[in-house]
Amino acid sequence: MPELPEVETVRRGLAPVMEGVVIERADVNRPDLRWPFPTNMAERLSGQKVELLRRRSKYLLADLSSGETLLVHLGMSGRMLVSGDPLGRFVHEHPPAEKHDHVVFHMQNGTRITFNDPRRFGAMDLMATEAGATHKLLAVLGPEPLGNDFHEKHLIDALKGRNMPIKSALLDQRIVAGLGNIYVCEALFRAGISPARKAGQISAQRIGALVPIIRDVLSAAIEAGGSSLRDFRQADGELGYFQHSFDVYGRENEPCRTVGCTAHISRMVQSGRSSFYCASCQR
């Protein structure tokens, strides 16, 4: 499932061709994805200007001139593909329709944006923009890891006394929004913390040091264009390539990249997810 850097990469790819542009027509080709689409979604989108394209955690949010916001979750295999871009950033001509093109946005500037999702784990919803923070999917989210509300005191307080493994705690979207399996593994490696350590037993100093490390890992991934595991693509169809920089994720039995370390990367399963780590460097 795309994590924060992948979703932010898609947002940055879509913003130049969507923000300030009217959705001339929206085609909704099926009644649902993960859950049913909102009532009259095509009609509510058609003719509306996209005032702003935002991201909250792993969700794309398009604020519309109607006073509503379109919420988009890419799911496991969802892609937002751009064609016919008048700015010349995307060279793709409009391709023939494909089986899994579930929602198509025909923009007034000639751009076509297609939401393609073979597994149909993605989702879309419409909500009043002014009430967006109370939406059931957004209201429970913690601070953005790249925002000002994510700081040492917040993380230290949030993890104090927690008996769960630090890996599980950092995946809790109520503690910090947008982190997923890949980037938690990478951050814990850089911090030298074992994913199995109980969150409440780690010193405040080490917890506090995680904050800039998490920011650095996410920022590097965004600048690299996101990861291209499984089905993820950027908005222009190009692969992300941060996976070439992974220190531990997916590198089971490969040598640790820490200078002087002779250990190999290990893998354990935590809550149904694979955690990759170096048993020598991470304590």
Q: CB-hemisphere CA count at 13 Å for 86?
A: 9
* 206 given a catalytic annotation: no
In a 10 Å sphere around its CB, with 0-12 CB exposed, 13-18 middle and 19+ buried, how is residue 98 labelled?
exposed
* 58 given a catalytic annotation: yes
> What gap in Å lies between CA 6 and CA 235, rounded to an integer?
10
DSSP states of 63-126: EETTSEEEEEE-TTT-EEEEES-TTSS--PPPPPP-TTEEEEEEETTS-EEEEE-TT---EEEE
* 99 given a catalytic annotation: no
> What gap in Å lies between CA 277 and CA 10, rounded to an integer?
29
| Chain centre distance of CA 122 | 12
Record the tokens describing residue 188, joined without a space. Answer: 């814990």
* 54 given a catalytic annotation: no
Each residue of 17-42: b (16+ CB within 10 Å) or e? bbeebbbbebbbeeeebeeebbeebb
Active-site hit among 3, 6, 8, 186: 3
Active-site hit among 11, 56, 58, 167: 58
- The residues that bridge with 22 in the sheet, in sequence order, are 49
Active-site hit among 25, 34, 162, 273: 273
Catalytic positions are: 2-3, 58, 273
